[in-house]
Amino acid sequence: MLARLIYLGLLILPMSVHAGLSISEVAWMGSLTSANHEWIELYNDGATSVEVDGWVLKDNLSLTIPLAGTVPAGSYIVLERTSDASSPASAFLIYTGALVNTGATLTLLDSAGGIVDQVVGGEGWSEIGGNNETKETAQYTSTGWKTGSPTPGAENVTTSSPPGGDEGDDAPPASSSPPYVPARSSGTSKKDISLKESEAIPLVTIEGPHVVYVNQEIPFSIGVRNVGRTIAHSFVHTWNFGDTTTASGTDVVHRYHYPGTYLLTVRSRFGKHNVLSEQEIKVLPVTFSLQRNRDGVLMVSNDAGYVVDISGFTLRSTKDHFVFPQDSLIKAKATVPIPRTTFTTTALDTIGLYDTKGINVARLFSKSDTTDMADVHPKTYTRSQAPTRHDETQQKVFATLQEKIVVSTSSQSVTEPEMTVYQEQATTAFDTKTKSQQYERGVVTVFIFLLLGVLWSIYRYAPQRDDTKPLL
């Protein structure tokens, strides 16, 4: 007894916490020796120990078992009724009360009252199993609840115990557990027990960022609370990212290819539960620029205030093209030089940077305004779109707006991140300036015509000198 008290004292020393505890075996029927030899087994499948001070296990009827102590990682503990003789294993604690044979729902609560695990036994414990005649217990396995020979404090069975073996119908199975007793000739056969959904309302939440960037790899996960861990793991989740793509699973990864505001939804189903969760995702645009250094080396700059993945992006000119390899990342406000051995280009080349969808995200014009852009990207440019001085003016307007984008993006205060908005602003600014220039030219033209008219009038109506008259 003293050794046992010392052992229990060591167990309740403060240790790390990880809520990996679950109900793994229920001996609601007692044993062959006594119907009062009931016990409940808990299993910590986590990598760290679990402190259960203030935790409670109850059956939602009349049984309430207060817990105290620490459950080591990867271990089974046994809660025994009345005395330590209820099972062959050493009792983690001894409780008073009884499990009714008509069935109950077992709920494991932590010190804050949160549900850690829940097992719906059903009528006569038919939802999890167990046999009141053979005294085989209900045991949770990787494939659901099974009925098998008792394994208190040890690993549960992997399959339902057969009613016999090669040595005869009355031969016990190979096990260190108490002898197997065959069922009476009542024709009762063992079966796999299906999981039944909880009566509690599950709380389903999407876990992931709300503000992301174009082509950023985004991890999302789903969390199910307010039900037992076994039931929570049984939910099937279907994701809709709001950009015509879907996925399934508890943990997913997604990339948004265009800026905008998307509504992410997840449909979670298990049994009668059907829950729809929503989360708004704001996707901000990425900004790039191309320039040359003093040595004429091409430089690709990430003008945004965040890391950008340019894997699969393409540099293209009239002479060459280069595709960035997998896991090509550019740090915020960083510049990457492109060696001439990788991408051949001269100052006379107009260069474009294209994303994985073939959309132009940056351009560097050549020194010549007559460069033919038709060969750079046939789907984007035509011969009539060769850069002119007007293009240079518009490019300056875009550059000014891009600086505003970078500033607002770094503070994550962009109200409408769609790039089309900025393009419309740039186009409006360019059109305004063009109209102003056209007005000025019109005024000058009118003035010139008026001046010519005045000069013509002076010439036309001025008195003519008569050269035939003699001079005085």
**Residue 266 near residue 206, CB atoms below 8 Å:** yes
Q: 9 by DSSP, 3-state: which?
A: helix
Q: Which residues pair with 146 in a beta bridge?
A: 139
Token output for 446? 């009118």
**CA separation, residue 3 to residues 6, 7, 10, 161 (Å):** 5, 6, 11, 36
In the block, which residue shows the tokens 């969760």?
Answer: 277
Percent of the chain's residues with pLDDT above 70: 70
pLDDT higher than threshold 80 for residue 372: no
Once rounded to an integer, what is the mean pLDDT over residues 329-338? 90
Start-end of CATH 2.60.40.10 domains in the chain: 203-284
Instruction: Write out the residue limits of the CATH 2.60.40.1260 domain(s) in the chain.
Output: 2-148, 288-387
The architecture in CATH of the region 2-148 reads Sandwich (2.60)
Q: What is 288-387's CATH topology?
A: Immunoglobulin-like (2.60.40)
Rounded to an integer, what distance in angstroms lies between the CA atom of residue 353 and that of residue 330?
A: 14
According to DSSP, residue 178 is labeled S
% of the chain at pLDDT higher than 90: 30
- 3-class secondary-structure state, position 457: helix
pLDDT digits (tens, 9 = 90+) for 335-347: 999 998 888 887 7
Q: What is the DSSP letter of 173?
A: P
Q: Give residues with Cβ within 8 angstroms of 95, minimum separation 6.
A: 63, 65, 79, 80, 81
pTM score over 0.75: no
Specify the higher pLDDT residue, 223 or 226: 223
- Identify the architecture of domain 203-284 in CATH: Sandwich (2.60)
d(CA 241, CA 244): 7
Confidence band for 143, pLDDT divided at 50, 70 and 90 = confident
pLDDT at 466: 59
Rg (CA), the chain: 40
Q: Using one digit for the tens of pLDDT, what is the confidence trace for 383-416?
A: 333 344 445 555 555 555 444 444 433 333 334 4
pLDDT (mean) for 36-41? 93
* Residue 429, pLDDT score: 57
Name the band, by pLDDT with cuts 50, 70 and 90, for residue 279: very high
Q: Is the pLDDT of residue 377 over 50?
A: no
Predicted local distance difference test score (pLDDT) of residue 13: 41
How high is the pLDDT of residue 293?
A: 87
> What secondary structure does DSSP assign to 211-261, as a single string?
EEETT--EEEEEEEESS-HHHHTT-EEEEE-SSS-EEESSEEEE---S-EE
Query: Hey, how many other C-beta atoms are within 10 angstroms of the C-beta on 162?
Result: 11
**φ and ψ of 208, to 5 deg:** 170, 170
CA separation for the pair 335, 344 (Å, rounded):
18
Q: Which residue has the higher pLDDT, 61 or 384?
A: 61
Is 471 or 280 the better-scoring residue by pLDDT?
280
State mean pLDDT over 263-267: 95
In this structure, what DSSP letter does residue 164 have?
-
The answer to whether residue 122 scores a pLDDT higher than 60 is: yes
Q: What mean pLDDT comes out for the span 53-60?
A: 91
Backbone angles phi, psi at 231, to 5 degrees: -70, -40
Range with the poorest average pLDDT among 23-27, 207-211, 308-312, 463-467: 463-467
